[in-house]
Amino acid sequence: MTAVPGVTVRPLAVDDLDTVVAWFAQPHVARWWEASTEPAAVRRRYADRIAGREPTEAFAIESGGRPVGLIQRYLIEDHPDWADALLATGAFAVPAAGIDYLIGDPALTGRGLAAAAIRHLAPATLDRHPHLEAVVAAPFTANVASWRTLERAGFTRTWSGPIAGVDSHLYLLRRS
């Protein structure tokens, strides 16, 4: 995929799995990730995504030619429980894709790497899926770094409150 000032986004590969497992073991990642961060579960989940056995698409975020993080996208409709939780907010009623992201090394957080990756992947997602009206993310309210990253990437906060029982902010990047 195309570079975004100093950052590239490319499909995650099998060779990345050890690195991805190590990222999920980092406290700054595990604290905010809802899915299991147990190494075998992470390896299985991302191996399935790489092989196309699961609809979520996973990408490596690279800076300086090395992987520094992960970003993934999925169609909300492919995850009915999550779709129901988002629809229950009353602030979400458009066909959309969701994104999740992380920077694996805590020393590399706060440098704009995730925002650059989001600025690339979100519009590319809308281009790839013309029926979608928006890309959505729902960081925990307490995860200030995550929601500030979305704001730097051009997303707008549209709602705040519990989503699936967790205080969260709902952010959207709408198709222009």
pLDDT at residue 5, as a whole number:
66
pTM of the model: 0.93
How distant, in Å, are the alpha carbons of 49, 57, 81, 108 from that of 52? Answer: 5, 8, 21, 29
Four-CA torsion 31, 7, 111, 96, nearest 10 degrees: -50
Confidence band, pLDDT 50/70/90 cuts, at residue 143: very high
User: Given a cut of 90, is residue 176 above it in pLDDT?
Assistant: no
Question: Cα 10 from chain centroid?
Answer: 14
pLDDT of the residue at 2: 44
What is the number of domains present in the chain? 1
Question: Across all residues in the chain, what is the average pLDDT?
Answer: 94
- In the structure encoding, which two tokens stand for residue 61, read together? 């975020």
Tens-digit pLDDT profile for residues 71-128: 999 999 999 999 999 989 988 767 999 999 999 999 999 999 999 999 999 999 999 9
Percent of the chain with pLDDT over 90: 88
pLDDT at 3: 44
| pLDDT score recorded for residue 163 | 92
Residues spanned by the domain of 154: 3-174
CATH of the domain at 155: 3.40.630.30
- Mapping DSSP to helix (H, G, I), strand (E, B) and coil, where does residue 14 land? helix
